[in-house]
Amino acid sequence: MADKFDVVVIGSGPSGYVGAIRAAQLGMSTAVVEEWVDDKGATTLGGTCLNVGCIPSKALLDSSHKYHEAKDTFALHGIGVDTPSMDVSAMLQRKDKIVKQLTGGIGGLFKHNGVTVVQGRGKVLAGANVEVTAADGSVTVLEAGSVIIAAGSEPVTIPPAPVDNEFIVDSTGALEFTEVPKRLGVIGAGVIGLELGSVWGRLGSEVILIEALDEFLAMMDAQVAKEAGKIFKKQGLDIRLSCRVTDATVKDGEVHVTYVGPDGEYTEVFDKLIVSVGRRPRTRDLLADDCGVTLDERGFIFVNDQCVTEAPNVYAVGDVVRGPMLAHKGSEEGVMVAERIAGKPAQVNYDCIPSIIYTHPEIAAVGRTEQELKADGVPYKVGTFPFVASGRALAANDSEGLVKMIAHAETDRILGCHIVGPSAADLTQQVVIAMEFGSSAEDLALMVFGHPTLSEAVHEAALAVDGHAIHIANRKKR
């Protein structure tokens, strides 16, 4: 006889575990199906984000940035140190300890909230049932009142650069280098490529990023992307646009990469090559043919704005559905779905989801870009403020970048904010809150911001929208 639950969640990443906990909090019997196991055969919770994505990459980013500061900037503060050295093994151990602490914490939260963990690979059957194939090959079926699919995503591979997990690696392998590569190639100059390239570049790698697109960070506001590109160039990242890799071959312990650029064909030789050309939804072998759930042409599960699939009582959230692959976006969808199953009128405001690149300086954004508004014919006005005019940023020796605020030209409602600079992720969140409440640029301009703080740059950018900035010369408004 099959086990019965009110809610069965497939996947324990940020979308799945948050949705499961919320469902349990609302009084529903809840089970989470997770296929990942560690080298001892124990179920590993947390999905890509906690195990091989968001969390471990940020641990390495912070460690490498501290090394960079000790090596290159401490002297500016009058701090003298012997020549710094990096113990890569210790850095990786710290990263693994953080991952273990957080993934173990999910297990504790599940236990506290009464969530049942079922080890195995889940597959959605007709009638909102879930087939679970365990690591030992045994098969069970869970009967669910509702199913939440939160199976996550996986790295995209490309035929010219087959991943061997030794010399040619994906984003997971790039978190496990046991020594700093002298020459590092990165295919893809997007979020993952920039973050991983930054880690190893700070530690001494000569980094070349090979990007097929003609524009750098095309998904970001063009002004902010241009500013970020200048900063990364100063840091030593060699970003080559309009270049498509045609072959990557390992010879004598080195990776020989051939690519075609605007001026012809080139070859570079690297110690390691990271393939970071994006991620795809993990939906293969996830759905029975008769389950009623449909996929689009890119393999994403088709859902409406409430994450409802075309099958009764089956929902899908996070990386397996439309929209940006962001852990926080998936988490909020998980909460929304759990509450809607419980009969509550929850929703996600997709216009107020921040995006972040955790380089240094950080790049963060919420809302629409200037080029999007221009293409759609929306009247807008812009205010910018550079961190070089921020007393707090100068005091911290961290004054590269700017804040860009965009508001509707007629209503003054904030339409977007784009930041490259210190603490950009946290500063952008202030604007997320403002936008959630429908604030105008004037609303932010009238608020009192503490001094000296980095957040004053947000205040000044809001003032600059109408030409009222205090600490920079204002551009004349047409």
The 10s digit of each residue's pLDDT in 86-98 is: 999 999 999 999 9
Name the residue with tokens 């200037």.
Answer: 370
Q: In 3D, which of 15, 76, 70, 71 has the Cα closest to residue 48?
A: 15
Mean pLDDT calculated for residue range 142-154:
98
Calpha distance 438→455 (Å, rounded): 19
Q: What number of other Cβ atoms are within 10 A of residue 393's Cβ?
A: 24
- Is the pLDDT at 1 greater than 60? The verdict is no
Sign of CA dihedral 94, 95, 96, 101: positive
Q: What domains, with CATH codes, occur in the chain?
A: 3-154+280-348 (3.50.50.60), 168-277 (3.50.50.60), 352-464 (3.30.390.30)
Distances (CA, A) of 163 to 169, 171, 174, 176, 275: 5, 10, 11, 14, 8
Name residues whose C-beta falls within 8 Å of residue 358's C-beta, 6 or more positions apart in sequence: 57, 58, 61, 195, 425
Query: What residues act catalytically?
Result: 451
DSSP label at residue 351: G
pLDDT in tens, 8-56: 999 999 999 999 999 999 999 999 999 999 988 899 999 999 999 999 9
Looking up tokens 């750098």 gives: 216
Helix (H, G, I), strand (E, B) or coil at 373: helix
Cβ burial 349-370 (10 Å sphere, 16+ → b, else e): eeebbbbbbbbbbbbbbbbbbb
Please give the pLDDT value at position 237.
98
> How far apart, in whole angstroms, are the C-alpha atoms of residue 106 and residue 13?
10
The two three-digit tokens of residue 178, written as one number? 């046991």
Of the pLDDT bands very low, low, confident and very high (cuts 50, 70, 90), residue 381 is: very high
Reported as a single tens digit per residue, the pLDDT across 200-240 is 999 999 999 999 999 999 999 999 999 999 999 999 999 99
Q: Residue 253: pLDDT band by 50, 70, 90 thresholds?
A: very high
Return the SS3 of 453: coil
User: Is-contact 42 181, C-beta < 8 A?
Assistant: no
How far is Cα 168 from Cα 245, in angstroms, rounded to an integer? 13
In angstroms, what CA-CA distances link 403 with 85, 103, 382?
35, 35, 10
CA angle 334, 338, 339 (to 5 degrees): 120
Q: pTM for the complete prediction? A: 0.96
Question: Which tokens is 205 given?
Answer: 């790698």
> Is the distance from CB of 386 to CB of 422 less than 8 angstroms?
no
Q: Across the chain, what does the average pLDDT equal?
A: 97
Burial (CB count <10 Å: 0-12, 13-18, 19+), residue 377 = exposed
- Lowest-pLDDT range, 2-6, 416-420, 435-439? 2-6
| Contact of 141 with 127, CB cutoff 8 Å | no
- Tell me the residue length of the chain: 478
Only one residue has tokens 């999007």, namely: 372
Two structure tokens written together for 241: 């646009």
DSSP letter, residue 300: P
**In this predicted structure, what is the pLDDT of residue 475?**
79
